[in-house]
Amino acid sequence: MKFGVVRFPGSCDEVDALRAARRVGDAELLWHGERDLKGADAIIVPGGFSYGDYLRAGAIARFSPVMESVIAFARDGGLVLGICNGFQVLCEAKLLPGALLPNANLRFTFRQVDLDVVRGDTAFTCACGSDGGLSAHPPHSILSIPAKHSWGRYYADEQQLAALEQNGQVVLRYALGENFNGSLNDIAGVRNERGNVFGLMPHPEHAVDELTGSTDGLCIFASMRLAVEGARV
């Protein structure tokens, strides 16, 4: 199992994502100017400020050469995870529905938040069991994961939102009282209709070691491995 982690100029959390992915598999950085995905089985579009977030968060990154390949990879059913800025990039690239608006408090905010796993049966949460291991998914669990962003208020129009809920595309919600950015329906993470592209604002790659506060994020990466290797069998 190999993860490819995209590196844009201005990416900040790409090495953290790389290290997190390496806890469950192999991983390599992918330079934004190249189209080669180097045989990755799953792609991570990491956090940071790609291209300085100029124009609009994620708006420029989606046009980079590597994203052409990532978009094609996603269209072919490959697993793509977007974290924070990566989520914004995936929305800009129309791989995910909706958009991320400025936080309700209009400030960059860093907080450890509790997330409800709405669906434990997705390619990105199937390992998020109460034991945090690779066991069968439980119906419900809570993850403690840090969030840090200025533009994290999830927005979709009424019709889109209804469709999202109906199709079961909402994967993670902020737990009660944790929705500091004002996201609609407390949405913290959504997937596409097909289920192979997932974006979230909180940073699972920063919740993979007890020493830095939590290991709850590890299950996201473990889930992806499980999904890829399960699909191979």
Is 203 designated active site?
A: yes
Tokens of 200: 């979230």
CA distance 133 to 130: 8
CA distance 23 to 29: 15
Q: How many Cα atoms within 13 Å fall on the side-chain side of residue 65?
A: 9
Verify binding: residue 22, other proteins, rule CB under 8 A: yes
Q: What is the DSSP letter of 48?
A: B
Give residues 135-154 in contact with other proteins (rule: CB under 8 A). Answer: 146, 148, 150
Tokens of 56: 């609009």
Least distance to other proteins from the beta carbon of 19, Å?
A: 4
Is 91 designated active site?
A: no
Verify binding: residue 165, other proteins, rule CB under 8 A: no
- Cβ 137 vs Cβ 88: under 8 Å: no
Of 84, 126, 128, 219, the catalytic one is: 84
CA distance 62 to 8: 10
Residue span binding other proteins (CB under 8 A) among the ranges 70-78, 134-142, 153-161, 200-208: 200-208
Of 178, 203, 206, 219, the catalytic one is: 203
Least distance to other proteins from the beta carbon of 114, Å?
A: 16
Exactly one of 48, 58, 120, 195 binds other proteins (CB under 8 A); which one? 48
Verify binding: residue 216, other proteins, rule CB under 8 A: no
CA distance 197 to 123: 9
Give residues 79-108 in contact with other proteins (rule: CB under 8 A). Answer: 105, 107-108
Residues serving a catalytic function are 84, 203, 205
